[in-house]
């Protein structure tokens, strides 16, 4: 079992100044931490069917996630039929790994079930008309999916999230037969990693002090210009750590993270069709008041 220091070093990478690994007290690694810290996106799958009951176990793990007020405002569509999976892949960025994976699960925000409960008990369900309920459903679905992803990895499987499920949301909803007040948020491709393909590797993340603030966002009397300079230095260090990682992966010409991220959100076109998502939500009965 790897020790925590090596797992953390892989997760945060290195720069010319050395490892960006945060200091931690001596804590023994365990299978749960090992699985979490070694998460990686797998895009090369064997086409072999998953063992019996795998979907049921992943579903149980997903349903074990926290859910606000136990309202359980998510649902999922599990696709295994090759022809349907191919059609779904075409609508989700036309990515080959979706077709190759034996299981593609589309996680959805689902307010249809609560709409039915309101009808059953003769209540108006006015709360369903508000942005809060869509937000709750999106959070519930995300928590459930992450539990399913961790469970898959604990079983020795690989997984990759697919945000491109929002690229053509109208067509995907029609393909899956989604009812009103249900919308696809993202997919999760699951399967056995292909041992003949280059292995997926742990990608460094931003330094902890860039994403976690202590007590407040920053000193109330802090100098804004100084804080901007400190952030610029942290982002430059991350650009370097990720460049080192990419070079080891044979991608030395990959753009810096800040450059790539800025271009990813530079234009409406860079959203790959997701600029219409609010319109689709409203069409599907999410009133977002």
Q: Which residue has the higher pLDDT, 25 or 5?
A: 5
Q: What is the pLDDT of residue 218?
A: 79
Largest interatomic CA distance in the chain: 65
- 93-133 pLDDT, tens digit per residue, is 999 999 999 999 999 999 999 999 999 999 999 999 999 99
Q: Is the dihedral of CA 218, 222, 225, 226 positive or negative?
A: negative
- Overall pTM > 0.85: yes
Q: Residue 18 pLDDT more than 70? A: no
Closest CA to 178 of 112, 133, 273: 112
Give exposure, 78-98, as e/b (b: 16+ Cβ within 10 Å). Answer: ebeeeeebebbbbbbbebebb
Q: What is the pLDDT of residue 220?
A: 64
Residue 182 CB-density burial (10 A; 0-12 exposed, 13-18 middle, 19+ buried): buried
Q: What is the pLDDT of residue 28?
A: 81
């Amino acid at each position: 079992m790897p020790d925590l220091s090596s797992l953390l070093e892989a997760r945060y990478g290195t720069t010319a100044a050395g490892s960006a690994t945060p200091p931690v007290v001596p804590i023994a690694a365990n299978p749960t931490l090992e699985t979490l810290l070694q998460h990686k996106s797998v895009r090369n799958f064997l086409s072999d069917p998953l063992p019996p009951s795998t979907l049921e176990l992943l579903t149980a793990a997903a349903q074990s996630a926290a859910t606000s007020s136990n309202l359980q405002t998510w649902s999922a569509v599990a696709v295994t039929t090759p022809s349907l999976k191919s059609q779904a892949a075409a609508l989700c960025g036309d990515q080959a790994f979706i077709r190759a994976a034996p299981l593609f699960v589309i996680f959805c925000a689902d307010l249809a079930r609560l709409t039915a409960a309101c009808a059953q008990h003769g209540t108006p369900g006015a709360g369903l008309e508000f942005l809060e309920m869509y937000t709750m459903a999106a959070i519930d679905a995300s928590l459930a999916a992450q539990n399913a992803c961790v469970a898959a990895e604990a079983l020795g499987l690989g997984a990759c999230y697919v945000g491109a499920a929002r690229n053509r949301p109208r067509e995907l909803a029609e393909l899956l037969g989604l009812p009103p007040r249900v919308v696809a948020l993202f997919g999760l491709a699951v399967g056995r990693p292909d041992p003949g393909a280059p292995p997926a590797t742990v990608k460094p993340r931003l330094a902890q002090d860039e994403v976690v603030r202590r007590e407040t966002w920053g000193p109330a009397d802090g100098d804004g210009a100084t804080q901007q300079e400190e952030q610029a230095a942290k982002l430059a260090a991350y650009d370097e750590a990720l460049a080192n990682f990419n070079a080891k992966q044979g991608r030395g010409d990959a753009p810096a993270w800040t450059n790539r991220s800025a271009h990813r959100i530079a234009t409406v076109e860079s959203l790959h069709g997701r600029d219409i998502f609010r319109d689709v939500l409203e069409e599907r009965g999410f009133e977002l008041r």
